[in-house]
Amino acid sequence: MIESPLLDKLTGYIGGRWSDSSEGNTFDVYNPATGEVIAKVPSMSEADVVAAVEAGKSALRLTSPYTLETRRTWLEGIRDALREHKEEVGRILCMEHGKPLKEAQGEVDYAAGFFDYCSRHIQALDAHTLTEKPKDCTWTVHYRPIGVAGLITPWNFPIGMIAKKLSAALAAGCPSVIKPASETPLTMVALFRLMDKYVDMPDGMVNLVMGKASVVGKVLCESPDVPMLSFTGSTEVGRKLVVDTAEQVKKLALELGGNAPFIVFDDADLDSAADNLIANKFRGGGQTCVCANRIFVHEKVADAFGEKLAARVNKMTVGNGLTEDVDLGPLINQAGFDKVKRHLEDALANGASLVAGKKPEDLGDGHLFFPPTVITGVTRDMCCYREETFGPLVPMALFRREEEVIDAGNDTEFGLASYVFTNDAERAQRVAAGLRFGHCGWNTGTGPTPEAPFGGMKASGIGREGGLEGLFEFVEAQAVPRGF
Ligand code: NAP
């Protein structure tokens, strides 16, 4: 079992109190590197989730909202607590997710960055008066908190994903009911421990419920007291939430799946492209929404690029994230492992060839460690081209012409992240404009940052997190014209 000063309470948190499941149910949390159960946490009931929503309602202030200064103090408090406890929060994260310790601790810094950004830009949410006077009135635009927000997060960034949502919700003055993924609830409990101890927020401003998605999701979707749901996860569940909230015309912010094209032209700096691909693809064990999923390489440089990738991949170490110098941890669970294996089997059976890594039959059983693997000769009928693999498989496809690769990049229902490597600035601009993706890195595989808006086009989502766009997600503009 995991021991940590930040996990001395292993329960939910409702209305400012640590709160167990009213029905006494629990579920197990595993360390994917060892297969051991590291904690038991409450699986909360429908009544518990309703109580969390009620607590949020009682913390909501519409007629005299918390001042910008007060909200800034909350954000700064969370930022400082995360930075101060980065090592321990990162260790908990590493144990329940599996990513290497340094990477896990880096994610805590990344999360703190969102609270910092919102605290520094909160003034943008202040009311302003229009200088023009439409219809001879003076118009003031207010940014009202939308109300109690349901925040649902995935397991792949246990602290990063909640930071994006919670920072903007608190900046707006919205109380929230938070549901972490069942694979990784412990990092969230640690965050609540820090907020409880170090940040002076009203009871009910932040509430934590854990347990069955069907139970929590039902209340959050159906309650008229939750006017907004902010969800990060799969497109499949996102679609269900659209249907389940349609009756109430609930506001949805959806950060969904991806199928990122990573395009390497023949004039690109191949070493830099390879380094960027390795950093991008293997972060979180290849289990990120922004990681390159289809690598399109110009046919003239395909062999050279493949060799550079193989050389890098062959030096990578796979193992328990708590061990020093590990580059790649385990996959999150057996279903995740089986999916990557299925994608590899399918590609090899349909004509792709192995450049680096192991054949499916050599992978072994009884563990979740999947070696970094590179294949080439990938075509659009293969699973790894059409679906999000979510694992350390690098599938290369060849291309000849610019228009062809733009069409190929867009040949997916997803539109989250994309990357183009070329030293021709005009071509880069054309390709970025042609790709229907919310994020397009030019000669960089870098992902989202607190300062810039991030989100998906098409089936990858609705709305943005980060940047000023993200800061405005939890407010509703209200125009108040004043007559004379
Ligand atoms: P998931 O299965 O969709 O689950 C995400 C969260 O939703 C979990 O907390 C899950 O709870 C909950 N959930 C599942 N069904 C629900 C329902 N009917 N109602 C309410 N909540 C429900 O996704 P995942 O496997 O955790 O995460 C991987 C996916 O997230 C990938 O597709 C990835 O691309 C995407 N992602 C997108 C972004 C982005 O910024 N666009 C960022 C990160 C990840 P349980 O854990 O209890 O099932």
* 333 CA to centre of ligand 1 in angstroms: 14
Same CATH topology for 5-256+460-483 and 260-449: the answer is no
Exposed, middle or buried, 181 (CB in 10 Å: 0-12/13-18/19+)?
buried
- Domain boundary assignment for the chain: 5-256+460-483, 260-449
In this predicted structure, the answer to whether residue 413 has a pLDDT above a threshold of 80 is yes
The atom of ligand 1 lying closest to the CA of 164 is 40
* 161 CA to centre of ligand 1 in angstroms: 11
Regarding the beta carbon of 447 and ligand 1, being less than 6 Å apart is answered no
* 214 CA to centre of ligand 1 in angstroms: 12
The yes-or-no answer on residue 255 being catalytic is yes
Determine the length of the chain.
484
Catalytic member of 88, 255, 465, 473: 255
Regarding the beta carbon of 237 and ligand 1, being less than 6 Å apart is answered yes
208 bridge partner residues: 13, 178
pLDDT digit string (tens) for 266-288?
Answer: 999 999 999 999 999 999 999 99
- The CATH homologous superfamily for domain 260-449 is Aldehyde Dehydrogenase; Chain A, domain 2 (3.40.309.10)
Mean pLDDT within 202-228: 98
CB atoms within 10 A of CB 337: 20
- What 3-state class would DSSP assign to 221? helix
Regarding the beta carbon of 179 and ligand 1, being less than 6 Å apart is answered yes
Regarding the beta carbon of 226 and ligand 1, being less than 6 Å apart is answered no
Mean pLDDT within 16-27: 98
User: How far is Cα 205 from Cα 243, in angstroms, rounded to an integer?
Assistant: 28
Regarding the beta carbon of 456 and ligand 1, being less than 6 Å apart is answered yes
Regarding the beta carbon of 43 and ligand 1, being less than 6 Å apart is answered no
Extract the tokens encoding 72: 């800034």
Q: Give the pairing of strands 393-399 and 373-376.
A: parallel
Radius of gyration of the chain (CA): 23
Write the DSSP symbol of residue 6: G
Q: Whose CA is nearest to atom 6 of ligand 1?
A: 154
| Helical residues (DSSP H) of 350-478, grouped into ranges | 383-386, 402-409, 425-434, 467-471
pLDDT, residue 208, reads: 99
Q: Is 400 left (phi over 0), alpha (psi -120 to 50) or beta?
A: alpha
The atom of ligand 1 lying closest to the CA of 255 is 41
In this predicted structure, the answer to whether residue 15 has a pLDDT above a threshold of 90 is yes
Torsion of the alpha carbons at 440, 446, 448 and 450, rounded to the nearest 10: -130
The atom of ligand 1 lying closest to the CA of 154 is 26
Q: Are 418 and 439 in contact (CB under 8 A)?
A: yes
* 153 CA to centre of ligand 1 in angstroms: 6
In this predicted structure, the answer to whether residue 133 has a pLDDT above a threshold of 80 is no
pLDDT, residue 131, reads: 82
pLDDT digit string (tens) for 66-89?
Answer: 999 999 999 999 999 999 999 999
Extract the tokens encoding 333: 């669970």
Regarding the beta carbon of 290 and ligand 1, being less than 6 Å apart is answered no
CA 158 to chain centre: 8
Nearest Cα to 49, choosing from 12, 18, 99, 89?
A: 12
Maximum separation of any 2 CA atoms in the chain, in Å: 80
Residue 24: its H or E element: none
HEC states along 34-74? CCCEEEEEECCCHHHHHHHHHHHHHHCCCCCCCCHHHHHHH
Q: Whose CA is nearest to atom 8 of ligand 1?
A: 181
307 Cβ neighbours under 8 A, 6+ residues apart = none
pLDDT, residue 135, reads: 85
CA 370 to chain centre: 22
pLDDT digit string (tens) for 93-102?
Answer: 999 999 999 9
Regarding the beta carbon of 240 and ligand 1, being less than 6 Å apart is answered yes
Average confidence score pLDDT of the chain: 97
Q: How far is CA 326 from CA 12, 18, 52, 285, in A?
A: 33, 36, 40, 11
Listing DSSP states for 320-350 in one string gives -TTSTT--B---SSHHHHHHHHHHHHHHHHT
Q: 């170490």: which residue's tokens?
A: 317
* 433 CA to centre of ligand 1 in angstroms: 29
Extract the tokens encoding 278: 């390795």
Residue 469 half-sphere exposure toward CB, CA atoms < 13 A: 13
Mean pLDDT within 148-158: 98
* 136 CA to centre of ligand 1 in angstroms: 49
For ligand 1, pick from 152, 235, 293 the residue to mutate: most ligand atoms within 8 Å of CB: 152
CB atoms within 10 A of CB 102: 14
Catalytic member of 94, 221, 289, 384: 289
Q: Are 431 and 298 in contact (CB under 8 A)?
A: no
CATH topology of domain 5-256+460-483: Aldehyde Dehydrogenase; Chain A, domain 1 (3.40.605)
pLDDT, residue 134, reads: 81
In this predicted structure, the answer to whether residue 49 has a pLDDT above a threshold of 80 is yes
* 314 CA to centre of ligand 1 in angstroms: 32
Regarding the beta carbon of 284 and ligand 1, being less than 6 Å apart is answered no
Q: Is 388 left (phi over 0), alpha (psi -120 to 50) or beta?
A: beta
Extract the tokens encoding 13: 């948190």
Regarding the beta carbon of 464 and ligand 1, being less than 6 Å apart is answered no
pLDDT digit string (tens) for 317-366?
Answer: 999 999 999 999 999 999 999 999 999 999 999 999 999 999 999 999 98
Write the DSSP symbol of residue 100: -
Torsion of the alpha carbons at 280, 285, 291 and 293, rounded to the nearest 10: 120
User: How far is Cα 402 from Cα 406, in angstroms, rounded to an integer?
Assistant: 6
**pLDDT > 70: percent of the chain:** 100
Write the DSSP symbol of residue 28: E
Mean pLDDT within 297-319: 98
Q: Give the pairing of strands 353-356 and 373-376.
A: antiparallel
Q: How far is CA 17 from CA 51, 179, 324, in A?
A: 12, 16, 38
226 pLDDT tier (thresholds 50, 70, 90): very high
Regarding the beta carbon of 120 and ligand 1, being less than 6 Å apart is answered no
Mean pLDDT within 400-425: 98
In this predicted structure, the answer to whether residue 484 has a pLDDT above a threshold of 90 is no
* 257 CA to centre of ligand 1 in angstroms: 9
The yes-or-no answer on residue 451 being catalytic is no
Regarding the beta carbon of 155 and ligand 1, being less than 6 Å apart is answered yes
132 pLDDT tier (thresholds 50, 70, 90): confident
In this predicted structure, the answer to whether residue 415 has a pLDDT above a threshold of 90 is yes
